[in-house]
A and B are shown apart, each in its own frame.
Chain A
Amino acid sequence: AQSVTQLGSHVSVSEGALVLLRCNYSSSVPPYLFWYVQYPNQGLQLLLKYTSAATLVKGINGFEAEFKKSETSFHLTKPSAHMSDAAEYFCAVSDREGAQKLVFGQGTRLTINP
């Protein structure tokens, strides 16, 4: 069975500082990996996805993530935080076959301090 662990339910950084949100996954087969963002009272928006051989993935709003198979990790980073980045972030994993259902982590709430 697949699973995702997000380390830190709450991360707080200063505006302009590096954002690092951690995600480790467990999967018996090569997975697809995703990061989603959720703003208050809204649905999920895809930030980026890993679905191919390119291990460094660039997404929207300046975010990127690196797939590290040896560490079973897919951490999300952004060089300089902006106030508008404050939201809940979810890491997710899916199979490459069948329904490709998403298995989500518990989420990390990102707070940006002025």
Chain B
Amino acid sequence: ETGVTQSPTHLIKTRGQQVTLRCSSQSGHNTVSWYQQALGQGPQFIFQYYREEENGRGNFPPRFSGLQFPNYSSELNVNALELDDSALYLCASIKTGRSYNEQFFGPGTRLTVL
């Protein structure tokens, strides 16, 4: 199995701009979750996509949106960037089990908003 990949690795934007982050799931995984990890904090759940539909959302405003494609890769879009959006963005490719869904994390995209 290939691992979870994310692109780009690093990104610098200015306040008010829009950004798109990408995630390629592991083969056979039809679910992906996105997390935001601010500096010195634990990751926070943004949302999850299952078979191209949103399947759960955390406490993030609507300017955070996502897409999942038929090949199960995913995008995270953030509009009207704010300074507080500076963080490491992690995606997790999820292997659905009978009870427990195992989450495999990518290396993350480091977003800096100036």
Contacts and interface: CB of A to CB of B under 8 A. Distances in A.
A103 B56 contact: no
A49 B100 CA distance: 10
A106 B41 contact: yes
B26 interface: no
What interface size band does chain B fall in? Answer: 20 to 34
Contacts of B41: 106-107
A74 interface: no
Query: Which secondary structure dominates where chain A touches chain B?
Result: loop
Contacts of B105: 36, 43-45
Nearest to A6: B42
A94 to B, nearest CB: 9
Contacts, number: 57
Interface string B2-27: 00100000000000000000000000
A101 B107 contact: no
A102 interface: yes
Contacts of A100: 100-101
A107 B41 CA distance: 7
Contacts of A4: 42
B53 to A, nearest CB: 11
A28 interface: no
Interface in A62-94: 90, 92
B100 A43 contact: no
Given A99-B50, A107-B42, 4 more contacts: A43-B4, A51-B100, A90-B42, A107-B41
Closest 3 CB pairs of A and B: A99-B56, A104-B42, A43-B105
18 contacts: A36-B105, A42-B107, A43-B90, A43-B106, A46-B103, A49-B100, A51-B99, A96-B100, A99-B50, A100-B101, A101-B45, A102-B35, A102-B103, A104-B42, A104-B43, A104-B44, A106-B41, A106-B42
